[in-house]
Amino acid sequence: MGSEPDNDVLSIILVGLLSSFISAIVIGVALMALYYLRMSAVESGRGWLDFLGRPGEFDDEQAFARAEEEALEAMDEIQRTEYLRAKAFVTANPPESVDSEISLSQYLAIQEKGVSAWEFEPELEIANCFVEQRTEIEFFDSECTVTTNLPVPKQNEVYYWEAKIFEKPENTLISIGMATKPYPLFRLPGFHKTSVAYLSSGTRRYNQPFNATPYGPQFVQGDVIGVGYRPRTGAIFFTRNGKKLDDVAHGLKNPNFFPAIGANGPCTVHVNLGQSGYVFIEANVKKWGLAPATGSLAPPPPYGSEAGSILLESGKDGFTGPQYPRRGHSNSLSSYRVTALTNVLHPQHARSRSGTYSRILSPTSPGPQRSPTDISLAQLAPAEETGESSHHVPEGQTGGDTSRYFAHQ
């Protein structure tokens, strides 16, 4: 009887030891697998991602520092100076450090103009490219990047745009992609954070200028390169002459990306943001443009223009509505003498011996100011003047009586 409790205790101990041993083996295998994945990522030059999909900061810094050191040794003096200048710019102006959300005024401009609200804006300080008709870009003889004034929206599932290479010398490198603001525009897209680009050399760049990854065919004069962005997943992909290539990046849901095109030599690129049909058929069918080709909101009337306008009603201080002279005071002009008209209708031009006569006008409907040559049928009454006697015209007197009255004066 006494041995049964001892056996139970021994069984419990064995089960605990066995469970601990198995758990240790499982944890060891998991750690080894994790270590292998991390080392593989570092050796390949990629940053290791943690369980939340975020870049492993330490491994990224280690790999980046190693690649930077090797690249700086291979650079000439000009390349090294330009790279250090861009690095200082990014340090002083981190990506997304300025507000790049679409404002209310910009949204209304999109509603009014459609896709025409987007245009490429060259940096005036660099002045190494020229933009014509909003989307036709000509590059000159040094490295330069140009971006749009508005970011890519995030409401739809996919946004897409295309760039056609109109002119490209063989030794010119073109970079087409997306970038955030602020970005060092004296460098190509894809060379610094946060930017992605497909280069004419057939490689892709993502946040660094050191290790170019082979991506697709080289593109030359006459080719059409497309850029697609999926805001919900943060994926960016490219197309070449209507054929889709692999996705370049994922998880870029938060940044506000701007279409960006750069070149290090003379070339001409025309961009289609949705104002015309795409070479990529799927984008045409699903209408992946940045905005409709035409706006849906009528523009406001131009200030100061009254052409084609009709004034229906207007108002001013003290005006309550149109009022008309009483019927009893309507006179015929046929019996007025010319001198009487001058003295009565325009008292500022002449004065009578007994006083100044002014017009008592009932408020009339607004309109243009009367010129001195206008003839009014307003009622007449004398205005009192200090030191002179006044004479009143009896009520109900006719036009002829009024004429005789002024003749008497």
DSSP one-letter string for 310-323: -------TT--S--
Task: Examine residue 62 and state whether it is found in any structural domain, yes or no.
Answer: yes
C-alpha 298/C-alpha 301 separation (Å) is 9
Count up the domains in the chain and report the number: 2
pLDDT at residue 317, rounded to an integer: 57
Same domain? For 62 and 127 the reply is no
Pick the range with the lowest mean pLDDT from 21-30, 199-208, 302-311.
Answer: 302-311
- 195-214 per-residue burial string, b: 16 or more CB within 10 A, e: under 16: bbbbbbeebbbbbbbbbeee
Q: With contact defined as beta carbons under 8 Å apart, do 281 and 242 qualify?
A: yes
C-alpha 190 chain-centroid distance: 23
Looking at 269, 286, 303, which one is the last position of a domain? 286
pLDDT at residue 21, rounded to an integer: 85
Q: Does the pLDDT at position 84 exceed 70?
A: yes
Task: Examine residue 323 and state whether it is found in any structural domain, yes or no.
Answer: no
C-alpha 82/C-alpha 99 separation (Å) is 27
Closest CA to 220 of 267, 264, 259, 261: 267
218 token code pair:
């080289």
Task: Examine residue 6 and state whether it is found in any structural domain, yes or no.
Answer: no
Looking at 229, 257, 286, which one is the last position of a domain? 286
Name the pLDDT band for 298 (thresholds 50, 70, 90): low
Same domain? For 224 and 245 the reply is yes
C-alpha 88/C-alpha 84 separation (Å) is 6
Same domain? For 112 and 255 the reply is yes
pLDDT at residue 63, rounded to an integer: 81
Name the pLDDT band for 11 (thresholds 50, 70, 90): confident
Name the pLDDT band for 38 (thresholds 50, 70, 90): low
Burial (CB count <10 Å: 0-12, 13-18, 19+), residue 262:
buried
C-alpha 59/C-alpha 69 separation (Å) is 15
pTM for this entry? 0.62
Burial (CB count <10 Å: 0-12, 13-18, 19+), residue 259:
buried
Q: Does the pLDDT at position 172 exceed 90?
A: yes
The number of C-alpha atoms within 13 Å of 143 and in the hemisphere containing its C-beta is 14
Which of 62-71's residues contact partners 24+ apart within 8 Å by CB, and which partners? 64/208, 67/208, 67/210, 67/211, 68/210, 70/210, 71/209, 71/210
Strand partners, 163: 225, 271
Q: Does the pLDDT at position 356 exceed 60?
A: no
Mean pLDDT rounded to a whole number for the chain? 78
Same domain? For 84 and 161 the reply is no
pLDDT at residue 303, rounded to an integer: 65
pLDDT at residue 285, rounded to an integer: 95
Same domain? For 64 and 118 the reply is no
Q: What is the mean pLDDT of residues 175-193?
A: 95
Same domain? For 68 and 130 the reply is no
Residue with the bigger pLDDT between 258 and 344: it is 258
pLDDT at residue 368, rounded to an integer: 53
Q: Does the pLDDT at position 52 exceed 60?
A: no
Task: Examine residue 66 and state whether it is found in any structural domain, yes or no.
Answer: yes
Name the pLDDT band for 311 (thresholds 50, 70, 90): low
pLDDT at residue 305, rounded to an integer: 62
Name the pLDDT band for 300 (thresholds 50, 70, 90): low
Same domain? For 141 and 85 the reply is no
C-alpha 346/C-alpha 46 separation (Å) is 93
pLDDT at residue 275, rounded to an integer: 93
CATH number of the domain to which 129 belongs: 2.60.120.920
Per residue in 222-261, pLDDT (tens digit) is: 999 999 999 999 999 999 999 999 999 999 999 999 999 9
51 token code pair:
């369980």
Same domain? For 77 and 181 the reply is no
Same domain? For 162 and 204 the reply is yes
* Percent with pLDDT over 90 in the chain: 48
Task: Examine residue 282 and state whether it is found in any structural domain, yes or no.
Answer: yes
Same domain? For 223 and 281 the reply is yes
C-alpha 169 chain-centroid distance: 33
Same domain? For 66 and 123 the reply is no
User: Taken in order 375, 378, 381, 385, is the CA torsion positive or negative?
Assistant: negative
Name the pLDDT band for 6 (thresholds 50, 70, 90): low
What domain range includes position 215? 104-286
pLDDT at residue 252, rounded to an integer: 93
Q: Does the pLDDT at position 123 exceed 60?
A: yes
pLDDT at residue 66, rounded to an integer: 86
Cis before 194 (ω within 30): yes
Choose from 7-21, 317-331, 359-373 the range with maximum mean pLDDT: 7-21
Pick the range with the lowest mean pLDDT from 117-131, 278-292, 313-327.
Answer: 313-327
Task: Examine residue 29 and state whether it is found in any structural domain, yes or no.
Answer: no
Q: Does the pLDDT at position 407 exceed 70?
A: no
Task: Examine residue 142 and state whether it is found in any structural domain, yes or no.
Answer: yes
Same domain? For 217 and 124 the reply is yes
pLDDT at residue 391, rounded to an integer: 47
Task: Examine residue 35 and state whether it is found in any structural domain, yes or no.
Answer: no
Q: Does the pLDDT at position 398 exceed 80?
A: no
Looking at 228, 260, 286, which one is the last position of a domain? 286
126 token code pair:
């660099």
pLDDT at residue 315, rounded to an integer: 64
